[in-house]
């Protein structure tokens, strides 16, 4: 079974609440990841210009998550994760089990991270912001398949109770750092009504990191 098929199996299980099938899909894809030795980067790696730590599924601190490992619930961490690594965290960390699940309030669908979509997440790289082990924000990015020097920012989502704390700005700045390391320019997708407030953040970072500026005009949904 291909890696994509295994991840799709994991997604169906996550969305449908079947832990056993999710375990099969995500664990098997994680095993494939271990064989290819994907690399994840922390914000510290990005800023210091280091190449990042080779990991088998997710950074060890997220696998253990014990107090003696220095993980505190109010400590902020930013990591760049592959789809495999993100789904592994969802599968193995209780605080992230509901990351992709939809809830319905008064007939309206609600998600922990508004724009995070499990199926689209398969093709994205995820700039994650965590408090302790809990993922409270994600920026989903993807290389433009028609222009490899362009990095699409497909969404930036922050948990509702943590909005207004500057977390989206932190995620976006980390996206610019990530793009610079890859000799890419940052191209945000169309801005929703809710996302209008992020335009000044992108404008400021375009000035701060001119090498990562795409030159494209901002678009609205």
Torsion of CA 148, 151, 152, 158, to 10 degrees: 150
Per-residue pLDDT at 163 exceeds 60: yes
Residue 50's pLDDT is 43
Per-residue pLDDT at 186 exceeds 60: yes
Per-residue pLDDT at 127 exceeds 90: yes
Q: Is 79 helix (H, G, I), strand (E, B) or coil?
A: strand
Select from 35, 37, 39, 11 the least CA-distant residue to 25.
11
Q: Exposed, middle or buried: residue 138 (CB in 10 Å: 0-12, 13-18, 19+)?
A: buried
- Band (pLDDT 50/70/90 cuts) for residue 102 is confident
Mean pLDDT of all residues belonging to the chain: 76
Per-residue pLDDT at 151 exceeds 90: yes
Indicate the domain borders of the chain. 39-212
Name the pTM for this structure: 0.70
Task: Express as a percent the part of the chain with pLDDT over 70.
Answer: 67
* Tens digits of residue pLDDT in 2-50: 444 444 445 555 555 544 444 454 454 444 434 333 344 444 444 444 4
- Band (pLDDT 50/70/90 cuts) for residue 75 is confident
- Band (pLDDT 50/70/90 cuts) for residue 100 is very high
Per-residue pLDDT at 78 exceeds 70: yes
Distances in whole angstroms, Cα of residue 115 to Cα of each of 10, 48, 65, 121, 170: 19, 30, 26, 10, 17
Q: Domain 39-212, CATH 3.40.630.30 — does that match? A: yes
């Amino acid at each position: 079974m291909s890696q994509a098929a295994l991840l799709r199996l994991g997604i169906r299980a996550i969305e449908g609440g079947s832990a056993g099938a999710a375990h099969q899909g995500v664990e098997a894809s994680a095993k494939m990841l271990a064989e290819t030795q994907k690399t994840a980067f922390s914000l510290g790696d990005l800023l210091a210009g280091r190449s990042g730590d080779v990991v088998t599924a997710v950074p060890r601190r997220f696998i253990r998550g014990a107090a003696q490992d220095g993980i505190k619930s109010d400590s902020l961490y930013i990591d760049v994760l592959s789809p495999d690594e993100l789904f592994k965290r969802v599968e193995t960390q209780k605080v992230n089990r509901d990351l992709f699940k939809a809830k319905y309030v008064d007939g309206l669908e609600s998600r922990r991270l508004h724009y995070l979509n499990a199926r689209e997440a398969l093709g994205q790289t995820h700039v994650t912001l965590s408090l302790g082990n809990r993922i409270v924000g994600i920026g989903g990015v993807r290389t433009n398949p028609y222009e490899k020097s362009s990095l699409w920012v497909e969404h930036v989502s922050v948990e509702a109770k943590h909005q207004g704390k500057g977390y989206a700005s932190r995620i976006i700045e980390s996206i610019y750092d990530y793009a610079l390391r890859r000799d890419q320019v940052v191209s945000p997708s169309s801005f929703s009504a809710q996302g209008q407030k992020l335009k000044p953040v992108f404008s400021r970072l375009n000035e701060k990191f001119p090498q990562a500026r795409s030159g494209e005009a901002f678009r609205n949904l």
